[in-house]
Amino acid sequence: MKTFESGFSLSLVAAALLSSAAVPAYADARSDALQALPENARALYTDAVDVGPSQFADFKAPAKPWRWCHSESYMGNPWRVTFNDELARLVNGAKEAGDVSEFVVSDSNGDTTQQISQIRSFIERGCSVITTIAGSSTALNAVIEEAYKAGIPVITSAGAVTSSAAVNVMHNQNLWGYQMGKGIAEGLPNGGTILQVEGISGHPLVQQENAGLDKAVAESGNLTIARKVSGEWTGTTTKSVILQALATTPQQIDAVWSTGSEARFIAEAFQQAGRPLPLIAASISGDALGYWNANRDGFKFYGGEVSPHVAAQNAFRVALRVVSGQKPIVNTIIAPMPTITQADLPIWYKDCMKPDSAAIFPIPPQDPFPEELLNAYFTNGEATPLYDFSKVPASCSN
């Protein structure tokens, strides 16, 4: 598997998406923040990413052992469960080493007001660091500011908050949507029609992803979007809306673009409708790899992996670096996403992966966010203590 190789330069991709329409003052602050990063890190940003200087340049690292607190907004799907299991594995390793005294987890079950209350409780009990998957990009800002004033860094994963007092660790969803659109264009050099399956309609990340696809389609000159449906990042919903769309769309569909992990459900919908399998651009998952293994002659794929394991690892690594005294340069750290082509599927597939393995997420063959690149996001960056990607349990270890 080769990271970010799909026949075009990542730097050119990012440059093509940058816009000159930003407010000058914001643009200057943004430019100053990005100029402090090396070129290979800057290439991961597009104008859709809200980024500025980190507020932790003068942060005083707390003494060990640390009380590590994690605020989860929703634990109701396999991705979130896997994320939390991996984060617990990593933090418990730090406990065994004597660096962490306590690991406390809260789950607000989709209630933003409750998540705010839970984070405030973390502040009151003196947590050393708070990691979180935020239920809102804006609603938690005030309580994050409270944590900052109390000397507690808040590290977000799987989606950013707009408060500059946090450190966000995320993928660039705008670039991700664009890359998959470019992958479709490369797979269909003579053009074709796309069925667009967005996540939750109106969600800020979905808007960024959709804008990336629109850019790729406009650049292609020979791709068209036949229909757009909302799969809500859920397999059964995705399958249902695709079946409905196919029933009223007699024209040929050459590709499906989806930013979720529902590739298997997409393929099953076309199969059930008696339609030829299109090229599917999506996030790879265990069930999709199981479906591919059972349908090697027909399944066509291009995409990446929005990995819960990697998301947890990135949150852990950044949080551990901050409480260890490393100084982040920017408030939003962009993590690379591995590119997965048809030729890469045998590398990612494992024997435990079946078409119904929706709760199994593949482990990348190599760390998609090398320590050397992560070092570049800190003024005094050095290898993350207590972290070794080679020791991540294999997908089929359970």
CB atoms inside a 10 Å sphere around CB 102: 14
160 within some domain: yes
For residue 3, the model assigns a pLDDT of 32
How many domains does the chain fold into? 2
- What the block records as the tokens of 193 is 């029609």
Q: Is 25 exposed, middle or buried (0-12, 13-18, 19+ CB in 10 A)?
A: exposed
| Shared domain check, 197 and 283 | yes
For residue 222, the model assigns a pLDDT of 98
Q: Regarding beta strands 255-258 and 66-72, do their DSSP bridges make them parallel or antiparallel, or are they unpaired?
A: unpaired
For residue 217, the model assigns a pLDDT of 99
Between CA 171 and CA 158 the distance in angstroms is 8
Fill in the DSSP letter of residue 131: E
For residue 164, the model assigns a pLDDT of 95
Range of the domain at 188: 173-304
For residue 390, the model assigns a pLDDT of 94
Tens digits of per-residue pLDDT, 52-70?
999 999 999 999 999 999 9
Name the percent of the chain in helix, strand, coil, to the closest 5: 40, 15, 45
Q: Regarding beta strands 339-340 and 300-304, do their DSSP bridges make them parallel or antiparallel, or are they unpaired?
A: antiparallel
pLDDT < 70 positions in the chain: 1-26, 398
CATH of the domain at 152: 3.40.50.2300
Write the CA distances from 264 to 233, 235, 287, 305, 316, integer angstroms: 13, 8, 6, 14, 30
| Shared domain check, 190 and 284 | yes
For residue 89, the model assigns a pLDDT of 98
300 within some domain: yes
| Shared domain check, 279 and 243 | yes
For residue 202, the model assigns a pLDDT of 83
Q: pTM for the whole thing?
A: 0.89
| Shared domain check, 225 and 212 | yes
Helices 112-124/141-149 angle, 10° precision: 10
Helices 10-17/204-220 angle, 10° precision: 110
Q: Which residue, among 114, 123, 72, 70, has the nearest Cα to 92 in the 3D structure?
A: 70
| Shared domain check, 245 and 229 | yes
Q: Which residue, among 70, 88, 68, 72, has the nearest Cα to 128 in the 3D structure?
A: 68
For residue 9, the model assigns a pLDDT of 37
Q: What are phi and psi of 220, to 5 degrees?
A: -65, -40
| Shared domain check, 234 and 289 | yes
Between CA 117 and CA 135 the distance in angstroms is 13
CB atoms inside a 10 Å sphere around CB 265: 26
For residue 398, the model assigns a pLDDT of 63
Tens digits of per-residue pLDDT, 144-202?
999 999 999 999 998 899 999 999 999 999 999 999 999 999 999 999 999 999 998 88
